Structure 1
């Protein structure tokens, strides 16, 4: 190409920002959807069942946690992991949908949920894994500790539990003492750190899964408290079976 031809070509005109904005919005939405559905998403702690590890209560500002999914693409949850999971059918008796009764509004909520802007319409719960498939869990030994495969657990994260006095089992609330349960393969036994205020596997031992939760119901592993600022920090796993 000659110098004259090159000099005669006009520089490409850049499109104004308002014309590029829709493309940028679409790209951002696609990235957000991929992040939420395949990598992880935030959740709000709605109750006190995981105190003091995670803060939540009716009418208060609960912790916001980030729950990542990547860990469980290659392995199953391990004892001590704090997981978010969908409650099995028998756990849903007190759950109420967070969707509007208006068809149009409900459709908008479902759409924005795909991008992580609205919570999913499911009974998402957060508990700690105590035992996994093939293990037998029961309570209690002479000191009131939970046993897995006959060995007492080391649970420093439990700071609120009903006091234990050997020989007074009949006086304890339902769930403080429970008979041995063998966790089926592909299932988990989960409990809240706040044993006084947690409706967990112990409360569902009479259902068809004997209180266990299918691994397929797990949405991810809680790894970080992202809000409020004073509570920011990692959510730590502690294997209670490691003692």
Structure 2
């Protein structure tokens, strides 16, 4: 065998080995992307906080993880911090940004697909769940407290109110939460466009359960704020179930 033929025979296995390696890497990447997509869609999802409506619980630019799985079979509880899609008319029209290069748009789409980018966080809202389906939620009693099914709730442990103000809301309301919906409010009551601010819309200020992504349970960034998100169960413990 000539030297050229021998060299060609040696290069053929090398090319095959390189192709097998690239094929295996591609398969691993595709599997990882699929797993990430499934996790993001059905298990846990990352969001960032774009506004101060949930201060002091959540601050602007906090990164949070949202549990999408547990509420599917266990439901939600009063006090949960929930992330939901705009029910319609809650958010202002999105500003028009200059077109980005195709490669940037493609990269952001891929990162959003696998749950590493939070670009779509601006299309969602985060609030505290105050009223479940059937609950009668009223503001306010003589102490400035909201009542749920006739029971007052003391929210001062988590509300961010102006100095000297103890009223849980400066907007009065008297609502009964319809089936398949929830009544939500921000912890920073004077800076939160929540259920109270949208009662004139067709949805009456209620958030359909179908629009809820899940329950926020962990602040992941910045690191000095890493920790579980408190649902303040003790505040709602005395609330009776709604009358049938």
TM-score, normalized by length of structure 2? 0.79
Tell me the residue number matched to 1:31: 35
1:226 to 220, 225, 228: 220
**Deviation of 1:98 (Å):** 8.1
Q: 2:161 aligned with 1:160, yes or no? A: yes
**Deviation of 1:20 (Å):** 2.3
Contact 2:46 2:116 in 1 (8 A): no
RMSD: 2.8
Contact 2:173 2:196 in 1 (8 A): no
Tell me the residue number matched to 1:139: 139
Q: Deviations over 1:198-229 (max 9, x none)?
A: 11111111112221100111001111111111
| 1:65-84 aligned within 5 A | 65-84=64-83
Tell me the residue number matched to 1:242: 237
Q: 2:206 aligned with 1:212, yes or no? A: yes
1:40 to 39, 44, 51: 44
Unmatched segments (≥5 aa) in structure 1: 1-12, 57-61, 167-171
SS in 2 for 1:90: coil
After TM superposition, the runs of 4+ consecutive aligned structure 1 residues lying more than 6 A away are 97-100
Unmatched segments (≥5 aa) in structure 2: 1-13, 239-244
In structure 2, do the counterparts of structure 1 residues 79 and 165 end up closer, same or farther at CA, with 3 Å as the change threshold? closer
Distance in structure 1 (CA, Å) of the matches to 2:211 and 2:163: 29
Contact 1:99 1:106 in 2 (8 A): no
Tell me the residue number matched to 1:190: 184
Q: Deviations over 1:93-147 (max 9, x none)?
A: x141688757957973445422223333762011000011101111111111111
Q: Deviations over 1:56-94 (max 9, x none)?
A: 1xxxxx1100111011211332100001001211213x1
In structure 2, do the counterparts of structure 1 residues 63 and 69 end up closer, same or farther at CA, with 3 Å as the change threshold? same
Tell me the residue number matched to 2:94: 96
Contact 2:83 2:125 in 1 (8 A): yes
Distance in structure 2 (CA, Å) of the matches to 1:95 and 1:127: 20
Contact 1:81 1:128 in 2 (8 A): yes
TM-score, normalized by length of structure 1? 0.79
Q: Deviations over 1:125-180 (max 9, x none)?
A: 110000111011111111111111221112221132585589xxxxx9xx613231
Distance in structure 2 (CA, Å) of the matches to 1:105 and 1:121: 21
